[in-house]
Amino acid sequence: MAQKKIYLIDTNVFIHDPLVLKSFHTAEVGVPLVVIKELDQFKSDVGSKGRNAREAIRIFDHMREEGSLAHGVVYAQDVLVRILPTPSAEVVKSIALDDNDDRILASAIELKQQGYDVVFITKDLNMRVRANALGVQAEDYKKEHVAEDDFYKGWRSYELSAGEFQGDHPAILREILQERELFLNEFVVLKSKRNEENYRVFRYQGGERFKLVRAPELLWPIGPKNWAQLMAFDLLFDDEIQLVSLLGPAGTGKTFLVLVAAMHKLLVEHSYKKVLVARPVEPLGRDIGFLPGDIQDKLFTWMQPVRDNMELIVHKAHSGYEQGLYDDLYQKDESGRKRRKKKKDEKWRVPSVDELISGGLLSLEAITYMRGRSIPDQFILIDEVQNLTLHEVKTLITRVGEGSKIVLAGDPYQIDSPYLDFSSNGLVLASEKLKGTSICASVFLQKSERSLLSQLAGELL
């Protein structure tokens, strides 16, 4: 006789996805009582942990009204959910009951003793190892999961002889369409076999239509350094693309490219009324504790990468002035000194971060305070998105109002959240789920342009 299967759910799974119970169909699910206790401890947290804990508790409270959770309540039509009391030490002798993790594993062992085929679902790697050592089958929660070697990069590259990709509509593009399906806004990179610096980039626009991608004409002496940055610029400067996902290792220029596009759109083209930059507050390494001052003082340190990139943009714009790139905007007086023709001709100038903030043109925020807002007519950058869940990313995207553009940027290889990895973080999953839509696009940037040392560290360390 086949054993009856039961899925045992760990606390961290509810924190990751409070709607996890909907992922099981025609199944029996057990939730240790200590999990409910841990959710109660998390419910007062300000961030996503507290929000997800409260949502999970509300679901259990609704089920309580439908019947006895001790005996089992049917949820979502076909899932039987039971709350499991903590077994006593006399019943489970193979493990001490010193902490909550021990008590959760004890519930799994007791179910096995009762004849169940137990599958323990947890995001905690160490708990999976411990469960396996105790003879309990353990699995990661992978409802939202993308294999690392199969994620959507937003482009395909082909090496050809230089003569095969000449002209605005090379014949090779039709051949590629016959061989494989392309997604809307997916790029095709045609590179010379003999010279990687000889390339052409095309963006697929449906049917048999491709757009030849060219570098945008900027007022400042800034341009793409490789074909991946060229693709990123193409999306960032296209007002029809409302959501852009930029993925890539450190040093590939993600934040810099976005801020260049945002500042040009704001100060030169006047396409948006404001630029908003938000980041999750996740420290690298051990936290240094509370920071003094008001909210802007506290955010100063967290936003230092944004300030660093803005200083570089200001420097680039000013160096263009020093090189005489804006001479046609000026006239010389009798002494040979340059004088402005008109005040509006100072478009080349990029204000400092503090000037932009004081003028209401730039807002630096923590994502914690974005819930419930509606943000119209703004260029929005959400940085370090690899540290967010898909649910959190969805919450941010739904804040975008009419006339706004949002960019999700991050490095899926550097994740600070303990229960996320390359395959389950919100940045990779959002890019995967939104691919092929007409107003969304993604680019994976793989070449570091920060420095040779930065590139070597990313590759070898």
Please report which confidence band the pLDDT of residue 274 belongs to, taking 50, 70 and 90 as the band edges: very high
Is the predicted pLDDT of residue 288 greater than 60, yes or no?
A: no
Mean pLDDT, the chain, rounded, equals 86
Range of lowest pLDDT (77-81, 292-296, 402-406): 292-296
Is the predicted pLDDT of residue 133 greater than 50, yes or no?
A: yes
Q: How many helices (H) and strands (E) does the chain have?
A: 14, 18
Please report which confidence band the pLDDT of residue 290 belongs to, taking 50, 70 and 90 as the band edges: low
Under 8 Å CB-to-CB from 115, ≥6 apart: which residues? Answer: 3, 4
Is the predicted pLDDT of residue 76 greater than 70, yes or no?
A: yes
φ, ψ of residue 5 in degrees (nearest 5): -90, 140
CATH number of 228-318+346-460: 3.40.50.300
Over residues 80-95, the mean pLDDT reads 87
Q: Where in the chain is the domain with CATH 3.40.50.1010?
A: 5-139
Q: How distant is the alpha carbon of residue 68 from its chain centre?
A: 40
pLDDT for 337 equals 57
Please report which confidence band the pLDDT of residue 344 belongs to, taking 50, 70 and 90 as the band edges: very low
Is the predicted pLDDT of residue 81 greater than 50, yes or no?
A: yes
pLDDT for 137 equals 96
229: which 2 tokens?
A: 């940055």
Q: Which DSSP category does 265 fall into?
A: I
Under 8 Å CB-to-CB from 235, ≥6 apart: which residues? Answer: 185, 241, 244, 441, 443
Range of lowest pLDDT (299-313, 343-357, 432-446): 343-357
Q: Where in the chain is the domain with CATH 3.40.50.300?
A: 228-318+346-460
Please report which confidence band the pLDDT of residue 300 belongs to, taking 50, 70 and 90 as the band edges: low
Under 8 Å CB-to-CB from 14, ≥6 apart: which residues? Answer: 20, 35, 39, 52, 53, 56
pLDDT for 284 equals 37
Closest C-alpha among 349, 351, 404 to residue 381: 404
Strand segments, DSSP code E, in 242-361 are: 243-247, 274-279, 330-332, 338-340
CATH of 5-139, one of 3.50.50.60, 3.40.50.10680, 3.40.50.1010, 3.40.50.2300: 3.40.50.1010
Q: What is the pLDDT of residues 17-58, one digit of tens each?
A: 898 998 888 899 999 999 999 999 999 887 778 888 999 999
Q: What is the pLDDT of residues 173-226, one digit of tens each?
A: 999 999 889 999 999 999 988 887 889 999 999 999 999 999 998 888 899 999
